[in-house]
Structure formats: C-alpha cells, structure tokens
Amino acid sequence: MAVVITEELKAKSEVYYGDEICREKSKFLLQEVNLPRGLLPLRDIIECGYDKETGFVWLKQEQKIEHVFTKIGRKVTYAPEITAYVEKNKIKKVVGVKTKELLLWLTVEEISVTDKAPENVTFTTSAGLFKTYKRVKYPL
C-alpha cells in the first residue's frame, strides 16, 4: 500500500528537488544502508525525500522508466513515484519497482543483504519469490 506524501510528511523530512541532487542523495542513502549504489538508475528525478524517524523514502521522476541490468540479465521498471522504507541492509515495503521473470512482471517488495553474505543481494517479490545475485559494481 502506497503512503501518501503529504505536506506534513515533507515538513518533517529531508526533501530535495532536481535530478542532480536527488540522484546524489539516493546513491548516498543506498551506500549508507549497505546496498549497491546502482540499484536506482533513475533519471529526470523531480523530488526525493527521506524521513529519518521512520525510514520512509520517496522518489518522483518525470515518467516511468525501464532499465536493463545487463550483468545479471534483468529488466526492471521504475514507476514515476517510488516509495519504500530503508534500514541497515534492507529496503522494504517497496512500491513502484517491478522486475520481469520469464513472461511476468513481478512487484519487487524487498531488497536486502545479510551480514553473513554481504556480497549477495536478494530481491523478494510480493508473491514471496526471491532471487539472489552477487553484488555487482556498476559504474556510476
């Protein structure tokens, strides 16, 4: 279920406007929670925000985009608005990100790493399916 981004939420959050600063902030946040900085290859970002108290984050971009992670052979779509909650080693309750598996588009609900295997990144769908990949360094 998507969280509505209200003026009240914005008032208690760090909010940034514009593609360049939002890309920088999203990469920094991913790095801070120990996830690969290339997970959100968004463009034309209009707004991003982060409520440190709850871990809630949002990104708004001009339009939906598709991205192919060539090193792992996965196509991913990012909706114009993406929301999630972040914590150490995890992004959860993701809304607005889907991946193609065979002929189906599945909603990505969680992205995580574990302390036991920090070189692996696991993607879990809303259907409970998951796939683990070796962490890949992408040029940013």
Sign of CA dihedral 29, 31, 33, 38: positive
pLDDT tens digits, one per residue of 89-131: 999 999 999 988 778 888 999 999 887 777 888 989 888 888 8
Token pair belonging to 37: 């900085």
Is residue 105 a contact partner of residue 99, using CB atoms and an 8 Å limit?
Answer: yes
Sequence spans of domains, the chain: 7-134
pTM of the model: 0.85
pLDDT tens digits, one per residue of 29-70: 999 999 988 888 998 999 999 999 999 999 999 999 999 988
CA distance 55 to 20: 22
7-134 to CATH, choices 1.10.287, 2.60.40, 3.30.1300, 2.30.240: 2.30.240
Percent of residues, the chain, with pLDDT higher than 70: 95
